[in-house]
Chains A and B, each alone.
Chain A
Amino acid sequence: MRLKSLMTLGVLALALPCLAAVAPRSAQAEILPARETADVLGQGQYAIGVFNPLRIGTFAGELEFHPLVMLVAPHVTLRSQVRAAEKPGDWRWSLVSGLSVPSGAWRLAKPFGLSGDLVPSCKVAGDDPARGGSCDRPGWLLAGKLGLIASKGFVDSAGQERGVLSLRMEAAGAWTLFGQEGRPLHAWAPVEVQMAPEIGQSRSQVRVAYDHAVADFLRLRAELGGYLLSRPIDDLTSPWIASGYMGADLRTSQRTRLTLGAMYWNSDRHQREVTKGSDGFAQVDYVRTHEVWPTLDFLWQW
């Protein structure tokens, strides 16, 4: 796995200078703005990524949703600016709130939903309702979240904001309208964190990020996160998860950017290690799991 990690690093190390070489040089006076800060899109502005959600600037703030997921799992996040920056380097604050009804996605099979992947498909209960008692699929849920983002800019000697420090605090939970809560997925950490409220668990998170423009067209970002998920009483895994991110955003045109990086996760997934003990017999230990995931997206903003 170390080899894979080094290969990832190598790809990153080669890709960044190469991409920089082809990056547009015209109109470079404007610094590529930082992402995921307390700033919200202005009215009439839009942004979308291949994987990132559609963001729409409205009079009430910024609306955020994934258009393709919307049909089977209606959801929306609203980011409202509580305090905007009056000049570069100021603190700014925004409030994040969101609602989703994920249950449709748990009931529809691929390609529209995830039934049979991550959660049971309950095919037998569907065809033979008399045997439906052993179906453990999450019921109909309403998931909600509420959070706060605070960002502070750092200006250089020319008065331009090159660095942005952001702090994000958020709590999310779900209310079961019909049926039952889902069991924890115990999936890969990013999936576990993302899906916790969508199966009926609660999730609290604190994330701190620093984003710095090393050139007008290139930003580097580092982030640390801590998460607390709710767990049923008989669950053996720790509810605490930690994450770290390092990556870069590269301007590819006046309206587009490429983001790439790697995310590290540390969670308790009941990983077992068997070693030879001092008596010559097997000895079992349970350790926390490390995961490293590449991140990549192409974003448009207009």
Chain B
Amino acid sequence: MNTQTTRSGRSWLALLAPWLAALGIAFAAIACEPFADPQDFDREEVLVFKRSSLVPPKDPGKPAQLRVVAWNVKYAAARIPFWFDCWGDKVEMSAAEVDANMAKLYAAIDELNPDILMTEEIEVNSKRSAYFDMVRGILENTDLNYAAYYETWDSQYVASEGVGRINLGNAIFSKYPITKAERIRQVDRTDQDALTAMFYIKRAVGRAEIEVRKGEKLVAMVVHTEAYDNDGTKQKQIKQIHELALKETLPLVLGGDFNELPPSAAKVVGFMDEREKAVCSDDFIQPPYTPAVMQPFYDDLLPHIDLSRYGASENEQKRYYTHSVLGPDDSNDKGEKGFWNRTLDYLFVSKGSSWVAGSTDVAQQQGQRLGGEKGLGPVLTQDYLRLSDHAPVTGLWEVK
């Protein structure tokens, strides 16, 4: 060891020691936020959020009838053309834009009046949505009393396009108490480099046990599977969801954005909202759909729109489409106005429970009667085509 001394005769190491000690104490005292939450769990319980003042829910009846809605709300971006959609370059909304879009979402939720609402792409602290806490917003501005938020993407800073901080996930809201909430990890993509993967979304299934009456519990599950993988990740995630659904012993409603077409989809390629020439990143090119992977859900559970009602032709199926990147105020390269052009969102319930006739539908647009022309309604007054790039799917679930 070097023993050089200063002119005062003290070892320089003796001088160095207090600095290093101070540095060590300072570092040890600092709890730094990780760059990105690795979501290192298989299955873990999450905390439940409660409305600041509860709105007493109606008696669910016997057998219980519950209005359920699943909706990908696109982090309140409505029809603002975000960069990964390839029809615009928007990266970040202003607080005023988010406030205005959230107010429209509240009105739509009030109109659909769900007892259980399952949302995907909901954000609680993202730069692109002005750090709006959408879970708290929905709780305080609708009649829903409880919420479980299932974080799937928590990055301190995403440098790509200046996206910045992101905290996105899925949520289950309920008028009735959520007694247990947990998230179940889904498999990750394997076709990304390590750095991209670190900051990328980590998919998870959200599960909530809801007590509709003392001692009467049921389960809601919200899902949102991968959209852009080229390594079969989405198919594995869908299979895992099916397995989880079949393991449930309590009555189950499963809903969300599966990013997959129904098994009998008439149109599987060439959607009107795709660009004719590539203008943005290859990362957001739609891989081929594999509709057959949805068949087990139709075999083992009860879909809110069964395949006979869904029809066989594009013209019949159009009535149940739930997604379009382009909104009605925008046109594609051929000049066609945007409209729902494929089905990606679903509701399924376990056998042993049922859907009330005339109650199930896709809330596509203003003036539509929910459940069809002879359906239970209501007639929609909100402009669902302009609220998100997905339409809500809904039905009245009867649990014996």
| A35 adjacent to chain B (CB < 8 Å) | no
| A215 adjacent to chain B (CB < 8 Å) | yes
Q: Give the most central of B30, B80, B161: most A CB within 10 Å.
A: B161
- Which residues of A have CB within 8 Å of B136? 284
Contact A187 B23 (CB under 8 A): no
Given contacts A132-B89, A136-B89, contact A214 B30 (CB under 8 A): no
Q: Which residue of B lies closest to A131 (CB)?
A: B88
B293 to chain A, nearest CB (A): 32
Given contacts A21-B2, A246-B22, A270-B131, contact A1 B47 (CB under 8 A): no
- Which residues of A have CB within 8 Å of B165? 186, 269-270
Within 8 A of B (CB), among A88-144: 116-125, 127-128, 131-136
Partner pick for B130 among A157, A234, A292, CB 8 A cutoff: A234
Contact A116 B161 (CB under 8 A): yes
| A207 adjacent to chain B (CB < 8 Å) | no
Cα-based distance from A274 to B6 in the complex (angstroms): 51
| A30 adjacent to chain B (CB < 8 Å) | no
Contact B28 A282 (CB under 8 A): no
Partner pick for A134 among B27, B47, B90, CB 8 A cutoff: B90
Within 8 A of A (CB), among B1-35: 1-2, 4-8, 12-13, 15-16, 19-20, 22-24, 26-28, 30-34
| B304 adjacent to chain A (CB < 8 Å) | no
A242-286 near B? 1/0 per residue, CB < 8 Å: 001010100000000000001010000111101010010110100
- Which residues of B have CB within 8 Å of A186? 127, 157, 164-165
| A290 adjacent to chain B (CB < 8 Å) | yes
Q: Which of A3-11, A62-70, A75-83, A168-176 contacts B (4 or more CB under 8 A)?
A: A3-11
Cα-based distance from A236 to B131 in the complex (angstroms): 8
Contact A281 B48 (CB under 8 A): yes
B155-170 near A? 1/0 per residue, CB < 8 Å: 0110111101101000
| B87 adjacent to chain A (CB < 8 Å) | yes
Query: Interface residue count for A (Cβ, 8 Å)?
Result: 67
Partner pick for A279 among B33, B50, B91, B281, CB 8 A cutoff: B50
| A86 adjacent to chain B (CB < 8 Å) | no
A97 to chain B, nearest CB (A): 29
Contact A188 B167 (CB under 8 A): no
Contact B91 A124 (CB under 8 A): no
Contact B92 A183 (CB under 8 A): yes
| A44 adjacent to chain B (CB < 8 Å) | no
B4 to chain A, nearest CB (A): 5
Given contacts A185-B164, A292-B27, A292-B30, contact A135 B19 (CB under 8 A): no
Cα-based distance from A218 to B16 in the complex (angstroms): 10
B204 to chain A, nearest CB (A): 16
Partner pick for B47 among A183, A272, A274, CB 8 A cutoff: A274
Q: Give the most central of B4, B22, B86, B95: most A CB within 10 Å.
A: B4
Contact B27 A123 (CB under 8 A): no
Contact A20 B4 (CB under 8 A): yes
Contact B26 A264 (CB under 8 A): yes
A101 to chain B, nearest CB (A): 20
A24 to chain B, nearest CB (A): 12
Query: Interface residue count for B (Cβ, 8 Å)?
Result: 62
Contact B12 A218 (CB under 8 A): yes
Contact A6 B95 (CB under 8 A): no
Given contacts A188-B157, A291-B32, contact A120 B20 (CB under 8 A): no
Cα-based distance from A132 to B87 in the complex (angstroms): 10
| A13 adjacent to chain B (CB < 8 Å) | yes
- Which residues of B have CB within 8 Å of A128? 279
Given contacts A21-B2, A156-B7, A262-B23, contact A16 B89 (CB under 8 A): no
Q: Which residue of B lies closest to A220 (CB)?
A: B19
Cα-based distance from A301 to B306 in the complex (angstroms): 77
Contact A215 B4 (CB under 8 A): yes
| A177 adjacent to chain B (CB < 8 Å) | no
| B289 adjacent to chain A (CB < 8 Å) | no
Partner pick for A135 among B16, B20, B89, B133, CB 8 A cutoff: B89
Q: Give the most central of B5, B22, B156: most A CB within 10 Å.
A: B156
| B192 adjacent to chain A (CB < 8 Å) | no
| B83 adjacent to chain A (CB < 8 Å) | yes
Contact B156 A269 (CB under 8 A): yes
Contact A290 B16 (CB under 8 A): no
Contact A282 B125 (CB under 8 A): no
B391 to chain A, nearest CB (A): 23
| A289 adjacent to chain B (CB < 8 Å) | yes
| B124 adjacent to chain A (CB < 8 Å) | yes
- Which residues of A have CB within 8 Å of B15? 214, 220
Contact B12 A272 (CB under 8 A): no
Contact B157 A17 (CB under 8 A): no
- Which residues of B have CB within 8 Å of A134? 80-81, 88-90
Contact A187 B12 (CB under 8 A): no
Contact A124 B88 (CB under 8 A): yes
Contact B167 A272 (CB under 8 A): yes
Given contacts A20-B4, A186-B127, A269-B165, contact A136 B279 (CB under 8 A): no
- Which residues of B have CB within 8 Å of A188? 156-157
Contact B130 A124 (CB under 8 A): no
- Which residues of A have CB within 8 Å of B167? 272
| B280 adjacent to chain A (CB < 8 Å) | yes
Cα-based distance from A289 to B33 in the complex (angstroms): 7
3 tightest CB-CB pairs across the interface, nearest first? A5-B27, A282-B47, A134-B88
Binding site for A on B (CB under 8 A): 1-2, 4-8, 12-13, 15-16, 19-20, 22-24, 26-28, 30-34, 47-50, 80-81, 83, 86-92, 94-96, 124-125, 127, 130-131, 133, 136, 149, 156-157, 159-162, 164-165, 167, 277, 279-281
Binding site for B on A (CB under 8 A): 1-2, 4-6, 8-9, 12-13, 16-17, 20-21, 116-125, 127-128, 131-136, 156-158, 160, 183, 185-188, 214-215, 217-218, 220, 222, 234, 236, 244, 246, 248, 262, 264, 269-272, 274, 276, 279, 281-282, 284, 289-292
A-B contact pairs, 17 of them (CB 8 A): A5-B32, A9-B27, A20-B4, A120-B161, A123-B281, A131-B81, A131-B89, A186-B165, A188-B157, A215-B6, A220-B16, A236-B95, A236-B131, A262-B23, A269-B157, A282-B49, A289-B156
